[in-house]
Amino acid sequence: MKLYNYFRSSASFRVRIALALKGLDYDYLPVHLVKNEQLGESYASVSASRLVPLLKDGDAIVTQSMAIIEYLDETHPQPPLMPADALGRARVRTLSLDIACEIHPLNNLRVLRYLVGPMKIAEEEKDRWYRHWVETGLETVERQLATAPARYCHGDSPTMADCVLVPQIFNAQRFNCRVDHVPNVMRVFEACMQLDAFAKTQPSACPDAS
């Protein structure tokens, strides 16, 4: 398997965690987003969306981090990243989507570049935008976690939801977002970071970290 990704991409981080939890080996292929390498012809020939991450598994190509994680879970079932029951799977997907759809898209690199570029928003105002959506979005996750507290997002073993949560907290801390108002979120984050699959795939541990 080959993973096209960027060390600071939270979506890429999600997939690195999933691969590590499953103990799967892969070739790490960096695509530097700040340098716009995702727009170059060599990567465009592989990725129709020109986004990361992208997983190449033999002749198969899978994009979008959550689709990749579910693909890995179906092709390499152990250890599972989705609960066995339908309601549990729905809850894990809900938690994942609360982050991947409600927080992350408002704060990814393309959006931030547009705010300070064509929209001519000052850096300080851009950071206020970032912190607002992260902090309020995490409040939703906090309420979800409070309904069924557990060691991880759902139960006593990591799921896709944890793969999505941890990178978002890394981003929150990088932009000095407030997190003291989400104690359940941070408790789960700390539990995850005790596992090698999370600690050894974090941005600073990546070969293209700079």
CA distance 69 to 6: 17
Q: State yes or no: pLDDT of 31 exceeds 80.
A: yes
Write the Ramachandran bin of 58: left for phi over 0, alpha for psi from -120 to 50, otherwise beta: left
Question: Rounded to the nearest 5°, which phi and psi values hold at 66?
Answer: -70, -35
The structural domain count of the chain equals 2
- Of the chain, the percentage scoring pLDDT greater than 70 comes to 100
Question: What is the per-residue pLDDT for 186?
Answer: 98
- Do 97 and 192 fall within a single domain? yes
Instruction: Give me the pLDDT at residue 50, please.
Output: 87
Q: Which two tokens stand for residue 13?
A: 């981080």
Look at residue 39 in the predicted model and tell me its pLDDT.
82
Domain identity same for 74 and 146 = no
CA distance 51 to 90: 26
The reply to whether 93 and 178 lie within a common domain is: yes
pLDDT tens, 129-170? 999 999 999 999 999 999 999 999 999 999 999 999 999 999
Residue 135 shares a structural domain with residue 180? yes
Note the pLDDT of residue 46. 86
- CATH code of the domain containing 160: 1.20.1050.10
Name the domain boundary from 79, 108, 141.
Answer: 79
C-alpha dihedral sign at 148, 153, 157, 159: positive
